[in-house]
Amino acid sequence: MKMTAAVLRRTDAPQPFAESKPLSIEEVTLDPPGQNEVLVKIGGAGLCHSDLSVINGARPRPVPLVLGHEGAGSVVEIGPGINDVAVGDHIVFQFSPSCGRCRRCLEGRPQVCETGARTKAVGDLMGGGKRLHDADGGSLGHHTGVSCFAEYAVVDRGSVVVIDKELPLYEAALFGCAVMTGVGAVINTARILPGDSVAIIGLGGVGMNGLLGAKLGGAETIIAIDLNDDKLGLARQLGATHTVNAGDPKCVEQVRDLTHGGVDFAIDLAGAIPAMKTAYAVTRYGGTVVTAGLSPSTAEFSFNQGNLVAEEKSIKGSYMGSCVPVRDIPRFISLYRQGRLPIDRLINEHVGFDEINAGFDKLQSGATIRQILVPHG
């Protein structure tokens, strides 16, 4: 089938992206779904920093590819071998397709599926090869097995989670990345307990969800840290007990004073090494640093080994919020409907294909939290 998609062909485009247009809006061809694959009509797709890090080359991926990993849609066709998804089902994409058979999947960690990681690295689907082609017949890569900056997507069965049809798809899109990664990092990876003290470093879409997760988990003290005062203001509205501007030279001192020596859990959701350093510095003796922010692929974080031992700190990575998507996405949606995860307050605007490059300028500047691409208007 023919459709419109946002194709990334270069990762060295200068800003503003509204002028250099790294994302080319093209008519592409999408093959029908193969074995264990489904065709999905995209209802909404979030513009995320993970997409931005591919656009600017911070986390390189083979190009050309159709970008987009956080989204939701409705199933319009089913390939052979699938009997638990039906045409008309509403789904949320999960950006780490799982095979269900590798060692990581079998131990209950589908978010770090080994098979999925290999196929994502080369832009293929798990069934092998690519289903996207440009006007000249050249192959286009699949971003994280999803590629939802398009009108339609063919994805592996393991990339979709069926959801209730009552939830608007433009809202459901956020559960595919921002909610899973942010809430999951606090609830699943950190496993905070009522009464804990938590610092959330970085208040983008993922960071705000981390804050909501800390509130949901019963944290007594929630300290939100960011460079943007407007985001700090929203954080206070969403449940932060304290806010600290990361640009303040006394940022670390303020947090340690507020918590009598440091927080139980420092959650880095910024994807920047300075944020990770702040997280480590504000963690108390015996505390835990959790990082779910993806820094540039060449970035390195270092710490004093003696300090790590003497203060018995822990550092944990969190990919996709350590979520089991088929378990956690429906659970998080239920909490949203109860008013306990107000993710709708994080959506700034809806955009079309013609606004997508400018949308990433806004994201880069910190002027927005979540913009939702609505491919069908």
pTM: 0.96
- Per-residue model confidence (pLDDT) at position 166: 94
Identity (one letter) of the amino acid at 222? Answer: I
Relative orientation angle of helices 229-238 and 205-216, to the nearest 10 degrees: 30
**131 and 80 in contact (C-beta within 8 Å)?**
no
Those residues of the chain that have pLDDT short of 50 are none
Q: For the purposes of burial, counting CB atoms within 10 Å of the CB of 83, is it exposed (0-12), middle (13-18) or buried (19 or more)?
A: exposed
Tokens of 147: 């590629």
* pLDDT on residue 99: 85
Q: Do residues 170 and 350 touch, judged by C-beta distance below 8 A?
A: yes
Residue 302 is predicted with a pLDDT of 95
What domains does the chain contain, in order, with CATH numbers?
2-176+342-373 (3.90.180.10), 182-319 (3.40.50.720)
Q: Which helix (H) or strand (E) holds 207?
A: helix 205-216
CB 16 within 8 A of CB 361: yes
